[in-house]
Structure 1
């Protein structure tokens, strides 16, 4: 015991480790609350593994569920899930900063370093002010979203339940969580332009990232926007446009999805199906009935995900953009990677390549493990693994039928996906100091 205690005392609490442990602690606390009998409609405990799975899915803003959220959980249980979604979406340190600011406590340097890590900022300057912007912006957007959605839910469910549904889905959409309390996601609302557009708008805003939104609101001119903001907007727009068009074409005559819909409903459904892999997890068509080509394309969209510093998961749009531009530069034989007449640092390129490699490695590894514990087809298994890693929440029917071993694998994958593979490595890996010397170059033939 003394050896373990000495190791814990000597554990350096660096920013990545604080974030990782913060998310872990929140997940465990949420699991304890959801395991209470009063959280379930039946009045019986759901069981710790299922409670842990639901808590991890909420904190990691994923949306994968082992039970129907509308039917199984009481208002108390749904409120706990909503609270966990908000904490997971804003981030552990953002929520901690809220309490610190309210109580008048000063934000220490170490806390600022953790906030910097969480929000993917380059500098420590203006962090507290940025957090205030993030909090105010989040509450405002979620409030507006709830007001718009109330035009759909109040007439259907009445005032009290309609307001609750509107608030729950607004927070879930902006935080890219994908939890729903309609019982059937948005499959019954594909003919509602207000509902579909509102959810798409919230998901896209949440997936762009707080720094991008603030930069856009401050400058409102394309030329004055930062390089990061312009790259994120371009990649996001291309993914949405290409995704909508391709899903529309692939699913046009699929009787399980778009075939029997009107033209307007088809366009709305295709747009929705292209938006939610950013990584929201709602669906307005049967994901399990998608063509295999569409499912595979959705895996690619989920893997890319949203943008850095946002509520979304995946390798991130900026990472994808840097890797694509680096590939183009290598093909052209250029020494520097340039975007909008700006040279991208080599460190950024290496980090992007590492993120993509680790992400692909995790998905392959998790898919392999799930093929050992589950009896589903490989495409469905890889779809589930990618959805968990990218914190999306879409499923082709595998989640409710997972074995206990499969649930634990997905829990770990969601956690790693939300915290970030590199952050996990920095948090729990061996941080060796930089060498003061360099070896001579060695040549390896590649390609």
Structure 2
């Protein structure tokens, strides 16, 4: 792997962002070819659909143009699980693991790649983070697999039950949203075990590896970093608000919560509140939700999970920094202060850049998909684009009806959402060497 990277970089001068994009695209291509093999599916699959599923798995999105439960064989489903695991934990993370296993030295260039892949602010401690990443991930997935097998082994038998437990523990922890039932997890809407295990998996996976490591090391809330505190507080608040909103809006909707008992309504509201921030699982019919609820979920999907997590979106901390900056401005303060800590202005600029680029790409995606999918409603198109960008995987029913061009467009948006707008822009941009500082001048705003 290392020699291959060196050869590529010898003939093609690539910065870390460009190399990350290249490796990611190559991995998707390999996955596409494997899924197209005759023994990966029951009755064959189109190349564009194989590419779509491979991209969706590698980007841990969960959108599917074909039904994974009925289209793919057990081998094909296993390949999807492998793609999800590689995509969720990161290709470069696996490369670093291989380097360590064979005793190879990990140089600065490899550390820079890891920094970009895991969205870290520095290369310091990056290798330790990768080690923790694997230990946490494998341990949590194995524990979850055991709990899920308690539910599914009695129902499906040992072989199928264990495989289902294996597949869904990987899919949930990596926030992929793939399920091996045609209706996703709708048949388990009131099942406490499935609801709790699956939701805990994608909440832990979506909160970010740096947060998990910080909590593991420090144990006490007061000693945690500001990032960890913001992620924990922000996640709790947004999940509670989302649950109450969905419960109230869908309470009487006969197509979603209306026909459930109060207990099942609470379970369904909880699950759909925590799922949109990149998980992609559903226990009720998303397409039957009220448009107001759909728009609210769109906002949740756009915000996404935590930095350095298996999830996508602009990230919760990005949204929090912009909100805190707005509050500081309205209160007449020059500094962004939260929990007795001042946030550097450079992070605000990065948050604004991420948000602005993301908004531009989402708008372009909506405009283009509106041209290719003439029969689809605007809210369904907006939902599909934001779901792909946030690597969520929820769909209001548009995915299976997409045209060939529409599928290719969503594929690009999923890749963009996984790699991040800034990574893609950095891979295309030419670094500026200009060091001239010009005089300041005020402009009128507002």
State the TM-score, normalizing by the size of structure 2: 0.96
Q: Which residue of 1 aligns with 2:13?
A: 12
- The gaps in structure 2 that reach 5 residues or longer are 1-7
Compare 100-109 and 270-279 and name the one that shifted more.
Answer: 100-109
Q: Which residue of 2 aligns with 1:362?
A: 361
1:74-116 deviations in Å (ceiling 9; x for gaps)? 1111111111000000001101112112222121211011111
Superposed, which structure 2 residues align to 1:427-438 within 5 Å? 427-433=427-433, 435-438=434-437
Q: Which residue of 2 aligns with 1:382?
A: 382
Aligned residues: 438
Q: Which residue of 2 aligns with 1:68?
A: 67
CA shift, 1:318, in A, is 0.6
Alpha carbons 1:70, 1:181 under 8 Å: kept: yes
SS at match of 2:186: coil
SS at match of 1:214: helix
Distance 1:339 1:313 in 2: 24
1:351-374 deviations in Å (ceiling 9; x for gaps)? 001111111111111011011000
1:100 paired to 2:94: no
CA shift, 1:442, in A, is 2.7
Alpha carbons 1:203, 1:278 under 8 Å: kept: no
1:125 paired to 2:124: yes
CA shift, 1:221, in A, is 1.0
Cα-Cα RMSD: 1.3
- The gaps in structure 1 that reach 5 residues or longer are 1-6
1:25-65 deviations in Å (ceiling 9; x for gaps)? 111110111111111112x3x12111110000000000000
Distance 1:249 1:196 in 2: 20
Distance 1:40 1:120 in 2: 35
Compare 10-19 and 146-155 and name the one that shifted more.
Answer: 10-19
Distance 2:163 2:122 in 1: 39
Distance 1:12 1:440 in 2: 36
Question: What stretches of structure 1 move > 6 A for 4+ residues in a row?
Answer: 7-10
1:321-340 deviations in Å (ceiling 9; x for gaps)? 10000011111111111111
CA shift, 1:405, in A, is 0.4
Q: Which residue of 2 aligns with 1:4?
A: none
Superposed, which structure 2 residues align to 1:41-120 within 5 Å? 41-42=42-43, 44=44, 46-120=45-119
Q: Which residue of 2 aligns with 1:3?
A: none
Q: Which residue of 2 aligns with 1:291?
A: 290
Distance 1:386 1:371 in 2: 13
CA shift, 1:10, in A, is 6.9
Q: Which residue of 2 aligns with 1:413?
A: 413
Distance 2:379 2:191 in 1: 31
Q: Which residue of 2 aligns with 1:328?
A: 327
Superposed, which structure 2 residues align to 1:164-179 within 5 Å? 164-179=163-178
Q: Which residue of 2 aligns with 1:304?
A: 303
Q: Which residue of 1 aligns with 2:37?
A: 36
Distance 2:118 2:307 in 1: 8
CA shift, 1:118, in A, is 1.6
